[in-house]
Structure 1
Amino acid sequence: MAASLQEERKEQSSVADGEDEEPSNGEDEEDDGDEIEEEEEEEGEERKKPVPKESRTRLQREKMENLFRRISTERVPLRVHDVVIKGNTKTKDWLIEAEVEAIKNATTVQELLQSATIANAHLHRLGIFDSVNITLDSGPPELPGTSNVIVEVVETKSPLTGDIGIFSKPEARSWSLEGSLKVKNLLGFGDLWDGSLSYGWDQTSEVSAGVAFPRFKGWANPLLARLSLLSQDWLKFSSYKERVSGISLGLISSKNHDLAYNLSWRTLTDPSQMASRSVRRQLGHGLLSSIKYTFKIDQRNSHLRPTRGYAFVSTSQVGGLAPDDRCLRFLRQEFDLRYAFPLGFYHTALNFGVSCGVLFPWGRGFLNKPSPLPERFFLGGNSSPVCTLGGPTTLLGFKTRGLGPTEPRRQVSGKFDDESSDTFSGRDYVGGDLALTTFADVSFDLPLRVFQEAGIHGHFFACAGNVTRLTENACRDFSFQKFRKSFRSSAGFGIIVPTKLFRMEVNYCYILKQLEHDRGKTGVQFSFSSPL
């Protein structure tokens, strides 16, 4: 009992103590409130203090990183409110608006960035602006999720440009002087007016003038027109000179498609009076009215030294689109296929290609008619088969028009006394109606680092090809077995030196097979081409 009473007294005292403590708790709460107010005042004072520059930079960097992280992981919706164009004083607004049309259709940040990059490249490609700057700005505050696009251009200060140069063709032993003069954006339509002159001391001369519009109002395709006067001297190879004057119109020109119409008056002459019978039959005047369509796909990583990818070109030409009897009527088709893939060491890559072409006259009795001489296929020359894309032409180791069907020239007494046997070989190369060429090329880096930095590299190659006649009833004697057995071939190696002014190849060619009257030669050969 005594113990229980003591416990009761303890509980009562504890309760009393708890009742006595209540007022002290209220005082503590008031003290806590005062402390919170003091802390808020201190935080307010801290906010009023200027933020250090380093902290501000760090916060902006974090915001940008968060934005890029969000863009890379999810599609951020965004709509373009307006496109503002600045800086164009001469160029029409509709031309720039047409090039940036894809920007207006963007629905996300990712699409907007991609379309802005493409539009920037398209505007630079016009060649009428020194600089193009596309800025993405926020839209009006009352329209969240929108953006304004500001396109600022600087028009070129020198619309008049020109260039001049001297070029050589060692395989043809000829030199040419070439120059051009261009005027950009004369009418404000992005138009390009140009005149060019090419004078060859021994073979080709050309004077031409043209105009190109990248687009015109509602017509989305580029428009091109060109007048030209061309003179070519083929006396060394085929005993005739060619003179062509005419106009060409580019109707469609895009990344993969090209459609052009050509109307020309052509004249073939023989000043030497030594032409073979086949050539003499085609001397005189002719009207060329033709339309040409080209389909092209080029997915190679480089057109000068491709290491991966493929390319395909198909060219179809129809001549004879005029009622005149002198109009040249023919059908011409070419195919060209290229493929490249890396081998995995020393930047080594294998390139191979196949080119073929066929030509036929059309009309009543077309099998008995000859095909137009200048439209036929001629093989030979030292141009690089890797860089040349557009039909069967090149066969390393053989001279220009150095193989194929030939005919004896007319013998004129005393004509050979003062001329070299190389210039007048006694036979005319008359070309063919069916041509096929193929090649394989292995390119590799040279071991020295100085060569690798300069882009100088080596290559091994092998070429084969053939050309034959099909018209004038020659197709009756044609067989694929004979065509295959008469293939010419060559192989070799060389060094390629690319520079800003030209691309030079020094090759050693070994003739594996050639037929009688072919002009192939084993030895060192040089080739120069454009670096573009």
Structure 2
Amino acid sequence: MSSSLSAEDDDIFERLQQRKDPQVLEEQQEAVNERMRAIYQKAQTRLAEMIDQNSTLPCTISSVQILNAPHTRRSFLERIFNPLLSANQSRPYTLSEALREISARADKLGRFDLFQQPISVYLDESQVDGSTGLRNIDVFLAAREKSRPTGIFLWRNVFGGAETLNLNASLGTRTRSAYQAAFETPILSDPDFRLEVGGVASATQKSWASHEEVVRGGWSKLRWMSQSGHRHEVGYTGFWRQMTGLSENASPTVRADAGDSVKSSIFHNWVNDQRDNPLLPSRGYYAKAFNELAGWGPLKGDVSFWKSEIETQGAIPIPIPGIKGDSGVSFTTGFRAGLLYPLGLDSSPRPQLSRVNDRFLLGGPTDVRGFRLCGLGPREGPDALGGDVYAAGSANLLFPLPRVGADKPVRIQAFLNGGRLLPLRTSQKATPTSSGEARDAMVSTLSELHNGLPSVAAGVGIVYAHPVARFELNFSLPLVLRKGEEGRKGLQLGIGINFL
């Protein structure tokens, strides 16, 4: 049996074989996407209406199950989710209360950084409780654990309770070697309350002061976050420091501080960060206060001092006429200050104010731009000696690159910054040798901060906020340079997390 195709049939096959116009395909796809969006929006609206209509409906949470968490300790999870069960509550939930509490517990689990995001939550309504007449809800959380050993140096969830072991080793030219180990664990299954213990052994070339510093020691600290979002950290540090490898032209002050030193101290660190982006803020504020007490009473050690630092930063967006939403233009200001006050001068047979490796250093691409690294403050020959009192501030104007857009983490920067770093001296410009003279010296040195202009520099540059660190390439020009300090005219590259 045979058949033949007519001309009409040939036309049909030709039309089927023809490629559709790309514009037609795009319109069809857009229509499909629009329909899907409408269906999704309708479903979301319906779900919201159902929850709203039944928000006061009494219910109980009868069980909570965490799926795909084989390496996480059961007791650790129970401490988080047992308070959620209705058996541990004094009264039934309303539906809205149950949803709110489930969401809060899922968010808390996510903050341990154990699971890949997002953590999905499913609810299943079981049979009505015959004795109470309440609806029972079973909660399921679908989570997928992150890899436990990450590369060689980071091991998550060591004992199944969100513990972390971090091992670091680095070799380089300035930091000749650095080995560090830190173990961190949450306390009472709380991601905002953690204990950390660690140790370090490092050797760093201090080219600005003609020596190498070898540090060995350890620390322990507690970290927590208050209900208002303030971060606190208290701890103890014990370090054996060695100033060694002095260059031939090292200054007399550096030579006098060479050798061994033991620092035993306790500290407290407080941070309130309300910025929208810590590396490239356009709005919000940041405040930090650090206090350290060394060598006092039972702390021992051969250095004794009180050390305090404060730091603030503020950022505001600048609206541009004709541009809707965030223009990407912002103005930021920053301020830092610190003091190092000696203790135990009266009881020491050889009074010493402070050592080179305990003093503040100022100047460089991440704090006072336009000056060499550690270029501000007292100097002796080729060496920067550091200071006991300092203050520094900056003003920065940032705006997007043309044709790049405000949503990209790249900005052009114009800045003006300056600062002063001073040694502790009495009103007669002498080194204090007693507690009484030290108090007089502190008042005199603080007064000296505003005596005359600070060292000031201005410039322009490019800022790139990478998720890991901030990069700045600036052209700087020193405007005010105090006697003995070292400015830097030209290009300067800065890489770090915390910039002035």
Same fold (TM over 0.5): yes
User: Judging changes above 3 Å, is the alpha-carbon distance between structure 1 residues 99 and 366 closer, same or farther for their aligned structure 2 residues?
Assistant: farther
Are residues 1:64 and 2:47 paired? yes
Deviations 1:135-184 (A, max 9, x none): 2333541242553322333333x32212xxxxxxxxxxxxxxxxx61122
Give 1:441's match in structure 2, choosing from 373, 378, 396.
Answer: 396
TM-score, normalised to structure 1, is 0.72
Q: Secondary structure at the match of 2:143?
A: strand
Give 1:376's match in structure 2, choosing from 343, 355, 359.
Answer: 359
8 A contact 1:360–1:433 mirrored in 2: yes
User: Judging changes above 3 Å, is the alpha-carbon distance between structure 1 residues 282 and 97 closer, same or farther for their aligned structure 2 residues?
Assistant: same
Matches of 1:58 and 1:282, distance apart in 2: 71
Are residues 1:161 and 2:128 paired? no
8 A contact 1:239–1:275 mirrored in 2: yes
Counterpart amino acid of residue 402 in structure 1: G
User: Judging changes above 3 Å, is the alpha-carbon distance between structure 1 residues 108 and 527 closer, same or farther for their aligned structure 2 residues?
Assistant: farther
Please provide the CA RMSD for this pair.
3.3
Q: Secondary structure at the match of 1:249?
A: strand
Counterpart amino acid of residue 150 in structure 2: T
Give 1:150's match in structure 2, choosing from 131, 140, 145.
Answer: 140
Query: How do residues 41-440 of structure 1 correspond to structure 2 at under 5 angstroms?
Result: 63-70=46-53, 79-100=60-81, 103=84, 107-130=93-116, 132-138=119-125, 140-142=127-129, 143-144=133-134, 146-156=136-146, 158-162=147-151, 181-215=153-187, 221-234=193-206, 236-254=207-225, 256-320=231-295, 323=298, 326-345=301-320, 346-365=327-346, 369-383=352-366, 394-408=367-381, 427-440=382-395
Counterpart amino acid of residue 240 in structure 1: H
User: Judging changes above 3 Å, is the alpha-carbon distance between structure 1 residues 218 and 198 closer, same or farther for their aligned structure 2 residues?
Assistant: closer
Moved more, 297-306 or 137-146: 137-146
Counterpart amino acid of residue 519 in structure 1: E
Report the CA distance between 1:493 and its aligned residue.
Answer: 1.5
Moved more, 211-220 or 87-96: 211-220
8 A contact 1:85–1:150 mirrored in 2: yes
Counterpart amino acid of residue 142 in structure 2: E
8 A contact 2:389–2:445 mirrored in 1: no
The structure whose Rg is larger is 1
8 A contact 2:176–2:203 mirrored in 1: yes
Matches of 1:477 and 1:315, distance apart in 2: 23
8 A contact 1:102–1:115 mirrored in 2: no
Report the CA distance between 1:63 and its aligned residue.
Answer: 4.7
User: Judging changes above 3 Å, is the alpha-carbon distance between structure 1 residues 122 and 198 closer, same or farther for their aligned structure 2 residues?
Assistant: farther
TM-score, normalised to structure 2, is 0.76
Q: What residue ranges of structure 1 are gaps of 5+ in the alignment?
A: 1-55, 163-179, 384-393, 409-426
Moved more, 60-69 or 347-356: 60-69
Report the CA distance between 1:68 and its aligned residue.
Answer: 4.8
Which residue number in structure 2 is paired with residue 14 of structure 1? none
Report the CA distance between 1:100 and its aligned residue.
Answer: 4.2
Report the CA distance between 1:318 and its aligned residue.
Answer: 0.9
8 A contact 1:501–1:531 mirrored in 2: no
User: Judging changes above 3 Å, is the alpha-carbon distance between structure 1 residues 470 and 245 closer, same or farther for their aligned structure 2 residues?
Assistant: same
User: Judging changes above 3 Å, is the alpha-carbon distance between structure 1 residues 216 and 205 closer, same or farther for their aligned structure 2 residues?
Assistant: farther
Counterpart amino acid of residue 381 in structure 1: G
Report the CA distance between 1:61 and its aligned residue.
Answer: 7.1
Deviations 1:282-313 (A, max 9, x none): 22212111111111111111112211111111
User: Judging changes above 3 Å, is the alpha-carbon distance between structure 1 residues 453 and 79 closer, same or farther for their aligned structure 2 residues?
Assistant: same
User: Judging changes above 3 Å, is the alpha-carbon distance between structure 1 residues 347 and 77 closer, same or farther for their aligned structure 2 residues?
Assistant: farther
Matches of 1:433 and 1:515, distance apart in 2: 18
Which residue number in structure 2 is paired with residue 28 of structure 1? none
Matches of 1:511 and 1:59, distance apart in 2: 62
Matches of 1:57 and 1:437, distance apart in 2: 54
Which residue number in structure 2 is paired with residue 517 of structure 1? 484
Matches of 1:245 and 1:279, distance apart in 2: 20
8 A contact 1:251–1:261 mirrored in 2: no
Are residues 1:456 and 2:410 paired? yes
Report the CA distance between 1:127 and its aligned residue.
Answer: 2.9
Matches of 1:401 and 1:62, distance apart in 2: 60
Which residue number in structure 1 is paired with residue 424 of structure 2? 470
Matches of 1:344 and 1:114, distance apart in 2: 36
8 A contact 1:309–1:339 mirrored in 2: yes
Are residues 1:504 and 2:463 paired? no
Matches of 1:272 and 1:453, distance apart in 2: 49
User: Judging changes above 3 Å, is the alpha-carbon distance between structure 1 residues 476 and 211 closer, same or farther for their aligned structure 2 residues?
Assistant: closer
Report the CA distance between 1:92 and its aligned residue.
Answer: 1.0
Report the CA distance between 1:101 and its aligned residue.
Answer: 6.2
Report the CA distance between 1:335 and its aligned residue.
Answer: 0.8
Matches of 1:101 and 1:376, distance apart in 2: 50
Counterpart amino acid of residue 376 in structure 2: L
User: Judging changes above 3 Å, is the alpha-carbon distance between structure 1 residues 57 and 307 closer, same or farther for their aligned structure 2 residues?
Assistant: closer
Q: Secondary structure at the match of 2:289?
A: strand
User: Judging changes above 3 Å, is the alpha-carbon distance between structure 1 residues 145 and 428 closer, same or farther for their aligned structure 2 residues?
Assistant: same
